[in-house]
Amino acid sequence: MARQSDESQNPIGRWEVQLRKGVLEFVILLSLSGREQYGFELISGIAKRAAIDVPEGTLYPLMLRLAKDGLISSRLADGDGGAPRKYYALTAQGRDLLRRMIPSWSKLAASVDSLLPGACA
């Protein structure tokens, strides 16, 4: 919480929060493209690998929306300790959307990179 309020105090922190929120949907779909994952595994993986540092609770409503839109599905299966866990996976529709999102992202990232100081025109 202290980290979040620090971020909201300075312009770069606020910008980063907005930027991260904007790509969350894409990052969730990307993370699930390899294999199905349970909630905590997915979210902690995103935090570690993609440095998407948003409140973890933000991701559950987003996953619910992705499920309603038919982009991801969930199923209950036994976890490590025997307690059932909800595993999320990409649906065919989600996989198709992700396939189309990747070139859009690459194009956007390349065009922004080309504007950075020192980039070749």
Partner 1 sequence: MIPAFTDPAARRRWDAYFSEVDRLLTRADADVAELRGDLEAHVVDSMATASGGSERERLDAALSRLGRPIDYLRPLLADELIERGTQTYSPITIARGLAHSVMAGSRRAVLGLTFGLGYLLLAIFTAMALLKPLWGEHVGVFRYADGTISAGIIAQSNGSRELLGWWSIPIALLLAALLYVALTKGLRTLKQRR
- x/- letters, 20..49, toward partner 1 (CB under 8 A): ------------------xxxx-xx-----
CB of 107 to partner 1, least distance (A): 29
- Nearest alpha carbon to residue 40 among 93, 69, 79, 1: 79
CB hemisphere CA count around 49 (13 angstroms)? 10
Cα-Cα-Cα-Cα dihedral sign, residues 45, 51, 55, 58:
negative
Count the residues of the shown chain that bind partner 1, applying the rule CB under 8 A: 23
| Interaction between residue 14 and partner 1 (CB under 8 A) | yes
- Whichever of 85 and 95 has its CB closer to partner 1, that residue is 85
> Which residues make Cβ contacts (< 8 Å) with residue 89, sequence separation at least 6?
32, 35, 36, 72, 73, 74, 75
| Interaction between residue 10 and partner 1 (CB under 8 A) | no
Other beta carbons within 10 Å of 62: 16
Find where tokens 């300790």 sit.
Answer: 81
CB of 105 to partner 1, least distance (A): 24
Exactly one of 83, 116, 120, 121 binds partner 1 (CB under 8 A); which one?
83
Binding-site ranges for partner 1 (CB under 8 A): 1, 4, 8, 14, 38-41, 43-44, 55-58, 60-61, 64-65, 67-68, 83, 85-86
